[in-house]
Structure 1
Amino acid sequence: MSNLGNIRLFTTHPHECSYLDDREAVSVFVDPAYPVDSALYSKLSERGFRRSGAHIYRPHCGSCQACIPARIPVADFQMNRNQRRCWQRNQDLLLSCSPSIDTEEHYQLYARYIEARHSDGDMFPPTPDQYRSFLSREWGVTEYLELRQQDGQLLMVAVCDRLDNGYSAVYTFFAPQHDKRSLGSLAILWQIELARNLGLPHVYLGYWIKECAKMSYKTLYRPLELLINGHWLRVR
């Protein structure tokens, strides 16, 4: 396997932070020309890196350390009462793994989700090119989990990467009119279940930011592990 010390990293220019007002963000990302495989991607995830489209990155914001990598140890995870209710409430849905989401049906679901939930974010307004580049299949590890109603209507897509050491939850989008189903929570629960069935130890949730209300849902999955000063520490 490649020595992580040999990988060239590039730094972005400071830009407006997507999560905290009045702050600038800086990221480092892996040289796009560097050959990436599942083993390397898995090791980088253990070091707090994340995938967005074809790029692997992590925050590098100087004095600000607000973005903390988070993951769920699936062997010890137990659903709380609300999560059990969510799981039971959605047993009527059909789960499948799709080979591609490059269709008009999938894009329209994504566009409705962004317009309803993230009209103030940097992914608005949605475009087909942005959709394809952001949620592309990379290095043969990406899976697209679909949830449909019995009549075939598409309700949710969870984009996740199957690593050597777990699943990485890349992005989830769903029909915004079905709030009562808690489909975002259901997507994480399904990935925990898939990882457990495959004997994979973790589900990586990306970054938790204490001051960002949109990130607070990640602390509902217990126990949770946070990468702090290079060590994964468990929070119960």
Structure 2
Amino acid sequence: MSDLKTLHFYATPEHKCSYLEGRNAQTLFVDPHVEISTEAYSELSDLGFRRSGRHIYRPHCKHCQACISVRIPIDQFKFSKSQKRVLAKNTDLVVRRISPIFTQEYYELYAAYIEARHADGDMYPPDPEQFNSFLVDGNQHTEFIEFRNSHGRLLAVAVVDFLAQGLSAIYTFLSPDANRRSLGNYAILREIQLCQELKLPYLYLGYWVSECRKMRYKTQYRPIEMLLDNQWVEVAQP
């Protein structure tokens, strides 16, 4: 196990930015060969790092600060009327927490989601090895939260990491034909409720980029805190 003082970091060469068209990006990685304790991972999360499989990283672009880490302070969060409606229309769903695992059912839902919603992204085309390396592999306390309807059909899976100070929302994949349920929104609301139940103060939502349309949903949750100049600051109107 390592703490922050003994960790080594590696910067990648410039590569195509995943969020902003026509821009290059650079990424800072924690040494992937070192086992990271929950405590160190939690500290890294407070410094703006994220996890993807066995890799813990954050943007490291020299001339761009567009990627901003965001989190929800749970004690201050209030469910809006529209969010309460989303919770109400999904009361029939059965929610279960399990350890990360590959199953054909999970993979087929993941593949359908990527193909329908993210055919223009880095994860297209999906494949089983990608699913495992992204969502199953890793040395952290991770859980899948699955959402099924009353007939047992799998509708969504939210992947979360447990930190000392909260939950980190890693990814959610869902049925492309269940739009009326607002399952992406519902998954975040249930993660907030889980934080409340476990008395965890923060839900980390990853990066917010003002110019990236797919990330605008993150500022629907208020209040929201942003990591600005290495300080977490509550922002009234991003």
TM-score after normalising by structure 2: 0.96
Q: Does 1:129 align with 2:129?
A: yes
Q: 2:66, 2:210 within 8 Å by CA — same for their partners in 1? A: yes
Letter in 2 for 1:192: I
The 2-side partners of 1:25 and 1:110 are apart by: 26
Q: CA deviation at 1:98?
A: 2.1
Q: Cα gap change, 1:140/1:24 in structure 2, threshold over 3 Å: closer, same or farther?
A: closer
Quick check: 222-231 or 34-43, which moved more? 34-43
**Equivalent in the alignment of 1:53:** 53
Following TM superposition, by how much is the alpha carbon of 1:65 offset from its aligned partner in structure 2, in angstroms? 0.2
In 2, the alpha carbon distance for the partners of 1:184 and 1:113 equals 12
The CA distance in 1 between the partners of 2:194 and 2:78, in whole Å, is 14
Partner of 1:19 in structure 2?
19
2:97 partner amino acid:
C
Encode CA deviations 1:12-61: one digit per residue, 9 max, x unaligned. Answer: 11111111011001000000122201111101000000001100000001
How many angstroms apart in 2 are the aligned matches of 1:217 and 1:72?
Answer: 13
Maintained 8 Å contact 1:9/1:31: yes
Per-residue deviation, 1:5:
3.4
**Identical residues among aligned pairs (%):** 51
Contact 1:30 1:57 in 2 (8 A): yes
**C-alpha separation in 2, matches of 1:104 and 1:6:** 40
Cα deviation 1:149-192 (Å, max 9, x = unaligned): 11110000000001111000000000010011000001111111
Conserved 8 A contact 1:54-1:136: no
What residue identity is the alignment partner of 2:122? D
3-state DSSP class of the match of 2:88?
A: helix
Letter in 1 for 2:113: Y
Amino acid in the other structure paired with 2:191: Q
Alpha-carbon distance between aligned partners in 2 of 1:177 and 1:2, rounded to the nearest angstrom: 44
Work out the CA distance in 2 between the residues paired with 1:78 and 1:147: 23
- Is 2:221 the partner of 1:221? yes
Find the aligned partners of 1:166 and 1:150 in 2 and give their Cα distance. 30
Structure 1: gaps spanning 5 or more residues:
none
One-letter identity of the residue aligned with 2:5: G
In 2, Cα distance between equivalents of 1:23 and 1:78 = 37
**Offset from partner CA, 1:84-106 (integer Å, 9 cap, x none):** 11010100100001234310000
Alpha-carbon distance between aligned partners in 1 of 2:68 and 2:192, rounded to the nearest angstrom: 20
| Structure 1 consecutive aligned stretches of length 4 or more whose deviation exceeds 6 Å | none
Deviation at 1:221, TM superposition (A): 0.4
Distance 2:11 2:43 in 1: 20
| One-letter amino acid of the counterpart of residue 28, structure 2 | V
| Secondary structure at 1:75 match in 2 | helix
Tell me, in whole angstroms, the C-alpha distance in 2 between the residues paired with 1:16 and 1:179.
31
Partner SS state of residue 225, structure 2: strand
Q: Distance in 2 between matches of 1:133 and 1:7?
A: 22
Unaligned 5+ runs, structure 2? none
